[in-house]
Each structure stands twice: as structure tokens, then as C-alpha cells.
Structure 1
Amino acid sequence: MTGATTRNEERAPVGVDPTRASIARVYDAFLGGKDNYEIDRQVFEGVKAKAPEAQELALDNRAFLIRVCRFLAGQAEMDQFLDCGSGLPTAENIHQVVQRLQPEARVVYIDNDPVVLAHGRALLEENDRTHFSPADIYDPQAVLADEVVATHIDFTEPLAFLQLGTLHHFEGPKNRPQEIMREYIDALPSGSYVAISHFLDPENEHSTVARKMEEVFRHSPMGSGTFRTAAEIEDLFCGLELVEPGVVKCAEWWPDGPRLKPLSQVSHCIAGGVAYKP
């Protein structure tokens, strides 16, 4: 294990510190990926120790992302997507999902993690309608003014704007995530859609698990992971028209079929929704 970790660290891209946990790499560990280091796996294992099913947070979020993108490309007929905090490339990336339904769809991924940039740019070299920006997703004005975004996203036409599994990692003033979303939403043209997923405090018997995971995340080397209530998550949509069924547990947002087994307690602790801008 030590030798493997050392070899992995030696291959770290320029600008990457393999001794500091990365949100993108921790998610990669949750998804069973290999683009992570020992420090990221320590965070993953720490959360699992508190809630053995914690891996389902990432799996539920990813499955929600795929279903949302199918809806936006198929039913809503969106042909341009702006994805904030894309994370490391994995199976069923957004451009792969939406371009099956809208072959001409343009996708711009935004992430300033050096590992994500290194892997993402290599992956996307083979897709001329998919692009990557290193802007800071928590700085809307920087994103909106970014050259890659301005070149490939047409803000005079409807688009799909995605903040999936990102806002709960913002560390700063409590109301800033809603302010961030307000700045983005104000810039979106009429007819656009907004999708958000977020760690959830379900305010019931599962809240204890949510708060335990929050404690582990925020006091781990990763240092972030806020669990909000459903009402607080709904506020992030800034009054837009929510698509039915509104903000619900990610696993229950238009599932692919009937549920044959009960949700785990962790699946009660991540929620998402999609809204429309008239």
C-alpha cells in the first residue's frame, strides 16, 4: 500500500499536493475511482466509519445527475450545458449523456482542481463540442466573464445550469450560496433550467446520520460539507418554478423504475431538484 501510494504521488500533476485532501478526489474515492491519494481515502474511510452506507451519497448524486441530464436534453431539449464543479471524469459524463440525445449539444465544465483539469482536458480533446474552464465556481462574475464560457455558451438562448454536489462545500458566510445562485440565475436567459443537488438534513430520524457525516466532513482534511434542510435547499433556486416533484431526495427524483428495496439511511441525506426560469 505504501509503495503504491508513493508511486501515485510521484505521478501527481504539477500544482497538486497529494498530502492535502481534494473534494474532487474524495468524490472519486466514493465512486470507486483510482484518481485519489491516501489522504482522500482517509476522508472517505472516516465518513464510512460513521455511516457505513456513506458511499451512496456519491452514487445517488451521480445517478441523479444522469437522470437530470437525460431530462434536460430529451424533454426540455436543452442543447447547451454549463456544469459547475464537474469533478473527475468518470463513466457517463454529462457530455456523453446529453450528446446521445442532442448530438450538437455544447457542454462547458468548470473546475479549478489541478487533477480535474489534467484529466478533463485529456479526455475532452476528442470531443469538439465539450470544453473546460478553470474558473472558480463560487465567483459567478469570473465564470460569466471567462473566455471559454463566453465563447461556447450563448447567453441569449436557453441553457441548462448545473450545481450538482457543489454548494455544500462552500465555506464562508451562511447566505453566500444563495447570493451566488442569485448572480447566476439573474444572468440566465428566459427558458433556462437550473439543477441543484445538496447534502440534506432530513429533519427526522435520519438527521443524526446527516449531522455525524457533516461533522466528519468539516473536521476532516477536506474541511467542508454542510447539510441543509429541504427548505434551505429550495431557497437556493431563488424563486424559480420547480419542476415536479420539487426538491426531494436524489434517489426519488424521477427514478428509472419502481423501487424494490427501501432507501438506506444515507439516501435520505442528499436531495436535489430542477427549476425553470420563465
Structure 2
Amino acid sequence: MARGANPPTHAIDVTTPSVARMYDWLLGGVENYDSDRTACQDLLRIAPSTQLLARNNRAFLQRVVRVLAEEYGVEQFVDHGSGLPSQDNVHQIAQRINPDCRVVYIDSDPIVLAHGRTTLQENKNTAVIQADMRNTDAIFTHAETRRLIDFERPVAALFVSVLHCLEDRDDEHDPVALIKRVAAKLAPGSFMVICQLVSDNARVRDGVTQLMHQCTGGMWGRVREPEEVRAYFDGMEILDPGLVDVVDWRPDTPPPPPAQRATDWIEWGGLARL
């Protein structure tokens, strides 16, 4: 649920909920405010399994980064809508496998930039950039991106639990257009990690979408249906086990029983190779 859709600003508005800070609260973090916690409580009334969903999604991010670094030898990562630093961030997972791995974090929330720079200031192979994740050209030509990422070599572009923050458009800001634009800039053999919030329950889709639009001041897109997510992967080689509820994506342990799964909505997606 990391925020990535609002225009960059250096002002931190603690009265309007931030998706990044809400996600932090759902993960048990402390970098959040009363407005974020109130919005999360409202969200839990519509979709009670949201906190479980957030934790399952974080575990998916950790697994997929490990697989990319360990099994596919990926050394470069661009994390769109990265959110607030948490335990086992992308660079920590990847650099345990290969210390030379390089990671660029992208987020438009100024509090993410502030905390990210503090966390990463002693790690020369990482950077955090405050930018709208839809501004692909600005991100890819940014000095820190050019310092760390060689786009002639394979890159893993991450869009983990963030595309639901983007509204449907009929221009280059549409989520599908964004994915196609990023894919077109990556070298053959690169990877895309994509998942977003989906639900088969129209009440949950509409209720969450309406709530998040209201409480974030419009910095939200839409809870979608699984088949809509497939459009993100057009023209890519979807790797095993395909597009799934992320708890079923190469789990480290046996898949959780129903009581340990999110039931109102899920994170749906997977890993693809260009």
C-alpha cells in the first residue's frame, strides 16, 4: 500500500493520512500519526483482514527479492512506491546475498525521503529519490539513478502493492501505460514484480476505494479485480507459479490455512521476465 501517486513536496502534512504511514502502522511501525491510525481503523471496519494482508504482502516482497538476487543473479533494483523503511528492506535482503547489489527507492511522500536518507546514508549502493513514480523519464535520468543503475544490464523493477494508488487514466499516467513505459526502458532479461490489492467483493472494492479517496485527499486509485491485473503483464514471461495471491508465491513454509489468510481482499500478482 506504499504511496506513490502524489506530486513531490517537502511539506509533511500530518493531518491528512498518508498511505505510506498507514502501511507503516499496519506493519506495527511507529512512523505514523493520529490521522493515519484513525484512517486504518476505518479501513479495518470495511476489511477486517487488512493488517494480515499487509504482513503477508511484506513477506512476499522479502521472498521475491531474495529469489531475484539468489536464483536469477539480479544485482540492480528500482523500487517504485517503496514506502517507509521497515525491517528487511530490499537492499538488506539483496545485499545479504550479494553486497554489490544496488537499490534505488522511489516515493513521493516527503517523510519517506527524510527517513530513507537517514537509514541509507552509510550505504553507498542505495539511494532514495522523492518523485512521482509515474515520472519515468525523471526517475531514470536522476543523478542517483544514473550513479547506481546500469540500464544496459538486467534490472528488477518493483511495483509491490502500489498500483492501486493510481487512478485509471486515458493517458501516460494510467497504471498499464506506466508499466509498459518502464518495461520499454529496461534491458532484455530484466524483471518486473507487480502486485496490487484486488477483491471479488464489490462492497469491499467500492467501500475501500471511497474511503481511501476521502481520507487521503484523492491520493488513491482503485481496488481492482484479479483479471485486471493481468493486463499489467501483457508481453512478459510470467514465471512460476504464475499470478497468485502473494501468500502462495513460492512460500517458505506450507501455505497458510484459511484463518491466516486475508479474506476481504488480497494482494494479487507475481514475477515476470522481459
TM-score, normalisation: structure 1: 0.88
Give the residue type in structure 1 aligned to 2:114. Answer: A
The structural deviation recorded for 1:268 is 4.8
Distance 2:116 2:83 in 1: 9
Q: State which drifts further: 221-230 or 38-47.
A: 221-230
Look up the match of 2:117.
121
Runs ≥4 in structure 1, deviation > 3 angstroms?
206-212, 263-268
Distance 1:47 1:167 in 2: 18
Distance 1:181 1:145 in 2: 17
The structure with more radius of gyration: 1
What aligned pairs does 1:88-127 form with structure 2 within 5 A after superposition? 88-127=84-123
Look up the match of 2:267.
270
The answer to whether the Cα contact below 8 Å between 1:81 and 1:160 also exists between their aligned partners in 2 is: yes
The answer to whether the Cα contact below 8 Å between 2:247 and 2:256 also exists between their aligned partners in 1 is: no
Change (3 A) 1:60 1:79: same
Give the residue type in structure 2 aligned to 1:17. Answer: D
Q: Do structure 1's residue 195 and structure 2's residue 193 form an aligned pair?
A: yes
Look up the match of 1:6.
none
Number of residue pairs the alignment of both structures matches: 262
The answer to whether the Cα contact below 8 Å between 2:47 and 2:265 also exists between their aligned partners in 1 is: no
Look up the match of 2:25.
29
Note the alpha carbon deviations across 1:92-144, whole angstroms, 9 max, x for none: 10101011111110111111211001100000012111111122201212212
The answer to whether the Cα contact below 8 Å between 1:22 and 1:222 also exists between their aligned partners in 2 is: no
TM-score, normalisation: structure 2: 0.89
The structural deviation recorded for 1:218 is 2.7
Distance 1:241 1:14 in 2: 39
Look up the match of 2:209.
214
Distance 2:181 2:217 in 1: 27
Q: Do structure 1's residue 72 and structure 2's residue 68 form an aligned pair?
A: yes
Q: Say which SS state the counterpart of residue 233 (structure 2) adopts.
A: coil
Distance 1:222 1:74 in 2: 40
Distance 2:256 2:78 in 1: 34
Which residues of structure 1 form unaligned runs of 5+? 1-12
Which of these residues, 7, 21, 39, is aligned with residue 43 of structure 1?
39
Which of these residues, 114, 131, 134, is aligned with residue 135 of structure 1?
131
Look up the match of 2:152.
156
Distance 2:265 2:244 in 1: 9
The answer to whether the Cα contact below 8 Å between 1:112 and 1:135 also exists between their aligned partners in 2 is: yes
Give the residue type in structure 1 aligned to 2:250. Answer: W
